[in-house]
């Protein structure tokens, strides 16, 4: 008898704790995706080790793209947070793991040699796969131009990936990112050759584009690191962190082109 009463009591408790029916017939117009950015990385290792690190370790990403063949692996569902961005900032938003999709590309990054860093190029087929994936993500989440970023963009003080050999211009040609118009850059550079803006101007322009950069008017290492991140993306032939006329022209043209 006591057992029967106990069973009945447990059943009643379970019934009280159950979720009531949810009516899903209505959907609000005022909504959009939680995803605001797509962050691109390289893995600094081979495919087997990349899969192990990203699936079994503390670091993770939503997607991993192999090199040969360029297989796309989904490791984290897009509606869940992956741990790929770390301490990061863009356009004033911080800790971007919660608002971004991370894509890792199998690539060794760089090795140190007598002449400095020797960077590994990206396989064309791997970039083809990436572009197809980016187009799909951009369409589904209705992301605007400016949503695809480098890890070095959002963490320039500690990260350099995907590095100066990543083909950003191919993404621009595919309509995925904005690119500075060459003639406009040339005209503006001629003006800046005669009078180079101040360091404070460079800091303000970098911040306007989205970078977290000091605003004290001094060319310190933190400012140089942000300039390097910008140059690795838009002027890959020279990324020395110097605030020169070409960098100034690229910055100004990009900011003028950006929708506000």
What pLDDT is attached to residue 2? Answer: 52
CB neighbourhood size of 88 (10 A): 23
Here the tokens at position 252 are: 């100004």
Domain boundaries, the chain: 37-173, 182-257
What pLDDT is attached to residue 258? Answer: 82
What pLDDT is attached to residue 260? Answer: 59
What pLDDT is attached to residue 4? Answer: 53
Distance CA 208, CA 259 (A): 12
Mean pLDDT, to the nearest integer, of 94-123?
96
DSSP 121: P
pLDDT in tens, 145-157: 999 999 999 999 9
| Fold topology of 37-173 | Lysozyme-like (3.40.80)
What pTM was computed for the model? 0.90
Distance CA 112, CA 71 (A): 28
Assigned CATH for 182-257: 1.10.101.10
What pLDDT is attached to residue 8? Answer: 46
Q: Quick check: 68 pLDDT over 70?
A: yes
| Secondary structure element (H or E) that encloses residue 139, with its range | helix 124-141
Percent of the chain with pLDDT over 70: 93
Q: Is 112 exposed, middle or buried (0-12, 13-18, 19+ CB in 10 A)?
A: exposed
Catalytic entry in 58, 67, 78, 104: 104
Distance CA 112, CA 72 (A): 29
pLDDT in tens, 182-235: 999 999 999 999 999 999 999 999 999 999 999 999 999 999 999 999 999 999
Residue 134 or 6, more confident: 134
The reply to whether domains 37-173 and 182-257 share a CATH topology is: no
Residue 104 or 31, more confident: 104
Q: Quick check: 51 pLDDT over 90?
A: yes
Distance CA 118, CA 120 (A): 7
What pLDDT is attached to residue 17? Answer: 58
Q: Quick check: 241 pLDDT over 60?
A: yes
Here the tokens at position 153 are: 């963009």
DSSP letter string over 11-24? Answer: HHHHHHHSPPP---
Q: Which long-range contacts (CB under 8 A, 24 or more apart) does 119-124 make?
A: 119/163, 119/164, 119/165, 120/165, 121/165, 122/162, 122/165, 122/166, 122/167, 123/67, 123/68, 123/70
Q: Quick check: 13 pLDDT over 90?
A: no
Q: Are strands 63-65 and 72-74 parallel, antiparallel or unpaired?
A: antiparallel
The verdict on whether 104 is a catalytic residue reads yes
């Amino acid at each position: 008898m006591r057992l029967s009463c106990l069973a009945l009591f447990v059943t009643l408790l379970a019934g009280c704790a159950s979720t009531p029916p949810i009516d899903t017939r209505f959907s609000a117009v005022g909504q959009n995706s939680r995803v605001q950015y797509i962050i691109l990385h390289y893995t600094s290792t081979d495919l087997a080790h990349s899969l192990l690190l990203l699936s079994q370790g503390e670091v993770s990403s939503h997607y991993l793209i192999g090199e040969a063949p360029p297989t796309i692996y989904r490791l984290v569902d897009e509606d869940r947070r992956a741990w790929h961005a770390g301490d990061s900032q863009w356009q004033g938003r911080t800790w971007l793991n919660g608002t971004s999709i991370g894509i890792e590309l199998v690539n060794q990054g760089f090795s140190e040699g007598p002449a400095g860093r020797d960077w590994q190029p990206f396989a064309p087929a791997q970039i083809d796969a990436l572009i197809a994936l980016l187009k799909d993500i951009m369409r589904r989440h209705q992301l605007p131009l400016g949503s695809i970023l480098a890890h070095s963009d959002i963490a320039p003080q500690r990260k350099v990936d995907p590095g100066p050999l990543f083909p950003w211009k191919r993404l621009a040609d595919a309509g995925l990112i904005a690119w500075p118009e060459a003639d406009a850059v040339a005209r503006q550079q001629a003006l800046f050759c005669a009078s180079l803006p101040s360091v404070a101007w460079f800091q303000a322009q970098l911040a306007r584009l989205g970078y977290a950069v000091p605003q004290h008017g001094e060319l310190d290492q933190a400012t140089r690191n942000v300039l390097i991140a910008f140059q690795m993306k838009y002027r890959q032939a020279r990324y020395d962190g110097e605030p020169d006329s070409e960098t100034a022209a690229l910055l100004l043209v990009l900011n003028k082109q950006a929708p506000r």
